[in-house]
Amino acid sequence: MNETELSSFPLLTTERILLRQLEESDAGEIFFLRSDTNVNRYIDRPKAKSVEDAMEFINKINSGIKVNKWFYWAASLKGDSKLIGTVCLWNFSEDKKAAEIGYELNPAFQGKGYMNEVLKEVIEFGFNKLKIYKIDAYTHKDNVKSTNLLLKNNFKLDAERKDKENENNIIFTLRRG
């Protein structure tokens, strides 16, 4: 992105998490994340109906990565390749200076600080490697856990802006520096 194109997909690590590219072997976990009622309670997207739907999604994501459309990481615990969640930077502005962040985590792994570690690393990557200056996050107004995670990571509620696609979403913004 920007002037510096990345030659390969960026692996990122935190103290406990490896962020890597999605693989076909992640299809079962992607199916779970994209079909589970708990995970999707606040997300406005069609639910996956089969593992084949998950495979199509993985292929779509990896095709978009190849053309620098987005960055989409599978999160797994270090030492265990099983996907526990995902995080992405996407919806880049035309000038590639702003992006949106999105994330999801298997409920069995929530409340342990994993996504907080992940967001810090992805935010650092966006600001320092991609040189973007602003990251937006859209979350449902009733999703208290997501709101708290964003606030903990210094995102500010952007009360002036409204989500044109989902009136129940609120928008948070984080600016570099």
Tell me the sheet residues that pair with 105: 85
Extents of the domains making up the chain: 12-175
CA distances for 72 relative to 65, 87, 157, angstroms: 7, 6, 24
pLDDT for the residue 4: 45
Tokens 């406990």 -> residue: 16
The backbone region for 96, taken as left when phi is positive above 0, alpha when psi lies in -120 to 50, beta otherwise, is: left
Closest CA to 106 of 36, 42, 48, 43: 36
DSSP code string of 48-79: P-SHHHHHHHHHHHHHHHHTTS-EEEEEEETT
pLDDT in tens, 73-125: 999 999 999 999 999 999 999 999 999 999 999 999 999 999 999 999 999 99
Q: What is the CATH number of domain 12-175?
A: 3.40.630.30
Instruction: Give me the half-sphere count of Cα atoms (radius 13 Å) on the Cβ side of residue 123.
Output: 21
Q: Report the distance separating Cα 61 and Cα 20, nearest Å.
A: 13
- Per-residue pLDDT band for 6 (boundaries 50, 70, 90) equals low
pLDDT in tens, 36-74: 999 999 998 999 999 999 999 999 999 999 999 999 999
- Cα 170 to the center of its chain, rounded Å: 16
pLDDT in tens, 135-171: 999 999 999 999 999 999 999 999 889 888 889 999 9
Residue 169 backbone phi and psi in degrees, to 5:
-85, 150
Q: Are 135 and 99 in contact (CB under 8 A)?
A: yes
pLDDT for the residue 177: 78
Q: Report the distance separating Cα 34 and Cα 89, nearest Å.
A: 18
